[in-house]
Amino acid sequence: MRSWAGPAAVPALVGALLPAVFIPVNYGRVDMSGYRFAEDYVHNAFTLAGQNALIVASFDPEYFPFVYYQVVEGQRRTLQ
């Protein structure tokens, strides 16, 4: 019967421990829970555009926040 503690045990142990070390160390740097650009962008566009205005978005990063706020949040549902 072979022992599990062979040459593959060291890389497996390192691979299991690295996330446990680096997640707490780097979490504060990559945390985007306070990132509100899309929310502010859609709120400003909805505020500036008239009630029956057509808002045209040229590519996905501009388009998806509008879809989210219409479908999920229920804002400006006049287009659906």
Phi-psi region of 55 (alpha: psi -120 to 50; beta: other; left: phi over 0): beta
pLDDT number for residue 80: 45
pLDDT number for residue 10: 84
Look up the domain containing 56 and give its range: 37-79
pTM of the model: 0.60
pLDDT in tens, 4-63: 666 778 888 888 898 888 988 999 999 999 999 999 999 999 889 888 888 888 888 889
Task: Reduce the DSSP state of residue 53 to 3 states and report it.
Answer: coil
Confidence of residue 3 (pLDDT cuts 50, 70, 90): low
Within-domain flag for 69 = yes
Within-domain flag for 57 = yes
Within-domain flag for 62 = yes
Q: How far is CA 54 from the centre of its chain?
A: 26
Number of domains in the chain: 1
pLDDT number for residue 5: 64
Residue 2 scores a pLDDT above 90: no
Q: What residues contact residue 45 under an 8 Å CB cut-off, 6+ apart? A: 55, 66
